[in-house]
């Protein structure tokens, strides 16, 4: 008796169908986020000119040509208008710009007061990060959603990477000529929207991938862990800082918005003034309390041996910091004057700490002092924000934002035209279940790099397996 067996039929598009299914899920989850990020990102690219236009009464002054009023006089004018404590002084970036003075009100709210540097006239105030661009940035970072915002950013960025990788696989030419670099059909046809989605995606996919990766440093799990690891091993934070100079428990991020590499940066300690060195030991606890936090109020004039804000500004100016730098005033008897500036050009980024008694430079850090990882990520972030390379980069990213929005819109229209009546329109499974397992395993490798993305990937995989168990979809493409 002779037995015969039939070899299983191998479905030629089995991997295509498996990848298509995950591409659909990725698009379903993140296309609304990507479209939102593209719109808000396009606006944020031109934050400075927009802010000067929207808040012209606060940010733009008429230069008088006379010598600028002393910083202490500007601070005194603000303190005449509020009972709050001054903690930051920001110099004008342009000749017709106002001075910005940060104040913590008695109820804990942080406000920014705008002062004419030629007359010390207080022009008005806004909440910290309350400018138009500040609101747009909060919208872009999903910060208005609260503590879950950075987690959503990480998940959306990770799924966007998945979307790009699977999209390139689906676009890859397999003998066809149309829909690769040209768009076929008419706007009323699904073919037109399919080709528009594919062609736009392949051109802008690399930019979207770059934006997703460079957006990760702001995420809650991956970003924070990489930041702590880099700063703990001198890959991000300037090497030798913790060893060469005595450091306090105060952080640069407490009073200003530092770069990614400086998120963990601590402030150095001022040397004790001669009078303090001879002070009785029962004052030690009070000084220690100030060093750990203490009052946010800064010195307005030389008192108790301090150099004062006027001398500090003069020293920073002589050091050649780029215009528009912010000065955080000393907090407590051991605090320091800290100037920080993050202009569009990376090599002009700088953080300088001064001893509040002697005016001695304790630390002077620039972009070149960051570790390799810190420099790489700072470059990516600066390009992401449209700052590095100036106008050319902003125009390029603006065009990319428009293309990304078209990509999202065309994907939504294509899905709407192909979805079944009353159904979601999930692409069909291949007949060979092994193909689905192989694709899922490859995706999980990426999930190991980005834990939150991996968790959501597993969740979707389990739900998809449960939903399709016991039945088989049609093989139609």
Total structural domains in the chain? 3
pLDDT digits (tens, 9 = 90+) for 47-87: 999 999 999 999 999 987 777 889 999 999 999 999 999 99
The stretch 83-96 carries a mean pLDDT of 93
Looking at the fold, whether 271 and 331 belong to one and the same domain comes out as yes
Is residue 51 included in any domain, yes or no?
no
Looking at the fold, whether 353 and 279 belong to one and the same domain comes out as yes
444 compared with 188, residue with greater pLDDT: 188
| pLDDT score at 64 | 79
Cα–Cα distance for residue pair 45/183, rounded to 1 Å: 30
Looking at the fold, whether 189 and 271 belong to one and the same domain comes out as no
| pLDDT score at 341 | 94
Looking at the fold, whether 248 and 343 belong to one and the same domain comes out as yes
Looking at the fold, whether 312 and 339 belong to one and the same domain comes out as yes
Looking at the fold, whether 304 and 209 belong to one and the same domain comes out as no
- Is the pLDDT assigned to residue 120 strictly greater than 50? yes
| pLDDT score at 41 | 94
Going by C-alpha positions, the residue among 348, 350, 306, 363 that lies closest to residue 329 is 306
Final residue of a structural domain among 370, 400, 419: 370
The number of residues in the chain equals 477
The stretch 263-288 carries a mean pLDDT of 59
Give the residue numbers spanning the domain of 319: 240-370
Are the beta carbons of 96 and 114 closer than 8 angstroms? no
Secondary structure in 3-state letters for the chain: CCCCCCCCCCCCCHHHHHHHHHHHHHHHHHHHHHHHHHHHHHHHCCHHHHHHHHCHHHHECCCCCCCCCCHHHHHHHHHCCCCCEEEEEECCCCCCECEEEEEECCCCCEEEEEECCCCCCEEEEEECCCCHHHHHHHHHCCHHHHHHHHHHHHHHHHHHHHHHHHHHHHHCCCCCCCCCCCCCCCCCCHHHHHHHHHHHHHHHHHHHHHHHHHHHHHCCCHHHHHHHHHHHCCCCCCCCHHHHCCEEEEEHHHCCCCCHHHCCCEEECCCCCHHHHCCCHHHHHHHHHHHHCCCCCCCCCCCCCCCHHHHHHHHHHHCCCCCCCEEECCCCCCCEEEEEECCCCHHHCEEEEEECCCCCEEEEEEHHHCCHHHHHHHHHHHHHCCCCCHHHHHHHHHHHHHHHHHHHHHHHHHHHHHCCCCCCCCCCCCCCHHHHHHHHHHHHHHHHHCHHHHHHHHHHHHHHHHHHCCCCCCCCC
Instruction: Place 467 in a pLDDT band, splitting at 50, 70 and 90.
Output: confident
Is residue 183 included in any domain, yes or no?
yes
Is residue 293 included in any domain, yes or no?
yes
Looking at the fold, whether 146 and 181 belong to one and the same domain comes out as yes
Cα–Cα distance for residue pair 239/369, rounded to 1 Å: 8
Looking at the fold, whether 265 and 347 belong to one and the same domain comes out as yes
Cα–Cα distance for residue pair 306/276, rounded to 1 Å: 12
pLDDT digits (tens, 9 = 90+) for 369-397: 887 878 888 899 999 999 989 899 999 99
| pLDDT score at 21 | 83
| pLDDT score at 426 | 77
Looking at the fold, whether 289 and 266 belong to one and the same domain comes out as yes
Residue 176 burial (CB count, 10 A): 7
Looking at the fold, whether 248 and 342 belong to one and the same domain comes out as yes
Angstrom distances, CA of residue 252 to CA of 14, 120, 138, 267, 433? 54, 27, 21, 6, 53
The C-alpha torsion from 401 through 405 and 411 to 416, rounded to 10°, is 170
Is residue 15 included in any domain, yes or no?
no
Is residue 225 included in any domain, yes or no?
no
Cα–Cα distance for residue pair 254/218, rounded to 1 Å: 17
Cα–Cα distance for residue pair 347/368, rounded to 1 Å: 7
Looking at the fold, whether 147 and 115 belong to one and the same domain comes out as no
Q: Name the residue with tokens 């991997």.
A: 15
Final residue of a structural domain among 337, 370, 403: 370
pLDDT digits (tens, 9 = 90+) for 173-224: 876 777 788 888 888 888 899 889 989 998 999 999 999 888 888 777 777 7
Is residue 109 included in any domain, yes or no?
yes
Is residue 233 included in any domain, yes or no?
no
Is residue 19 included in any domain, yes or no?
no
State the chain's mean pLDDT as an integer: 81
Looking at the fold, whether 174 and 102 belong to one and the same domain comes out as no
The stretch 311-319 carries a mean pLDDT of 95
- Is the pLDDT assigned to residue 436 strictly greater than 80? no
Final residue of a structural domain among 127, 154, 182: 127
- CATH at 123: 3.10.450
């Amino acid at each position: 008796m002779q037995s015969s067996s039939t070899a299983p039929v191998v479905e030629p598009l089995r991997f295509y169908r498996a990848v298509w299914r995950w591409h659909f899920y990725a698009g379903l989850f993140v296309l609304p986020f990507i479209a939102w990020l593209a719109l808000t990102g396009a606006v944020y690219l031109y934050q400075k000119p927009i802010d000067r236009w929207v808040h012209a009464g606060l940010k733009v002054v008429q230069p008088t040509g006379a010598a600028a009023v002393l910083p202490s006089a500007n601070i005194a004018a603000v303190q005449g208008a509020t009972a709050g404590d001054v903690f930051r002084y920001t110099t004008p970036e342009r000749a017709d710009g106002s001075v910005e003075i940060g104040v913590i009100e008695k109820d804990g709210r942080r406000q920014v007061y705008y002062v004419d540097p030629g007359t010390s006239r207080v022009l008005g105030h806004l909440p910290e990060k309350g400018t138009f661009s500040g609101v747009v940035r909060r919208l872009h970072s999903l910060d208005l959603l609260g503590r879950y915002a950075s987690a959503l950013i990480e998940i959306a960025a990770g799924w966007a990477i998945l979307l790009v990788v699977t999209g390139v696989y689906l676009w890859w030419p397999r003998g066809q000529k149309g829909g690769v670099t040209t768009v076929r059909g008419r706007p009323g046809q699904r073919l037109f929207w399919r080709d528009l989605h594919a062609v736009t995606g392949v051109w802008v996919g690399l930019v979207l991938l770059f934006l997703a990766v460079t957006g990760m440093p702001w995420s809650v799990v991956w970003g924070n862990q990489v930041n702590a690891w880099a700063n703990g091993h001198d890959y991000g934070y300037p090497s030798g800082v913790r060893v060469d100079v005595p450091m306090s428990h105060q952080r640069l991020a407490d009073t200003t918005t530092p770069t990614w590499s400086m998120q963990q940066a601590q402030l150095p300690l001022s040397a004790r003034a001669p009078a303090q060195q001879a002070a009785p030991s029962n004052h030690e606890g009070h000084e220690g309390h100030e060093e750990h936090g203490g009052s946010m109020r800064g010195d307005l004039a030389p008192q108790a041996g301090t150099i004062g804000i006027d001398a500090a500004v003069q020293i920073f100016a002589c050091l050649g910091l780029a215009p528009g730098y912010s000065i955080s005033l000393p907090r407590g008897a051991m605090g320091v004057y800290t100037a920080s500036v993050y202009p569009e050009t990376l090599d002009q980024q700088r953080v300088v700490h001064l001893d509040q008694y002697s005016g001695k430079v304790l630390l002077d850090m620039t972009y070149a002092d960051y570790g390799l990882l810190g420099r790489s990520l700072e470059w990516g972030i600066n390009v992401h924000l449209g700052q590095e390379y100036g106008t050319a980069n902003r125009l390029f990213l603006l065009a990319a934002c428009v293309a990304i929005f078209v990509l999202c819109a065309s994907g939504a229209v294509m899905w709407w035209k192909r979805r079944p009546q009353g159904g979601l329109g999930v692409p069909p499974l291949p007949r060979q279940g092994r193909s689905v397992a192989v694709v899922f395993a490859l995706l999980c490798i990426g999930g190991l790099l980005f834990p939150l993305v991996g968790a959501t990937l597993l969740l979707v995989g389990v739900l998809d397996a449960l939903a399709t168990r016991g039945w088989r979809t049609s093989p139609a493409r």
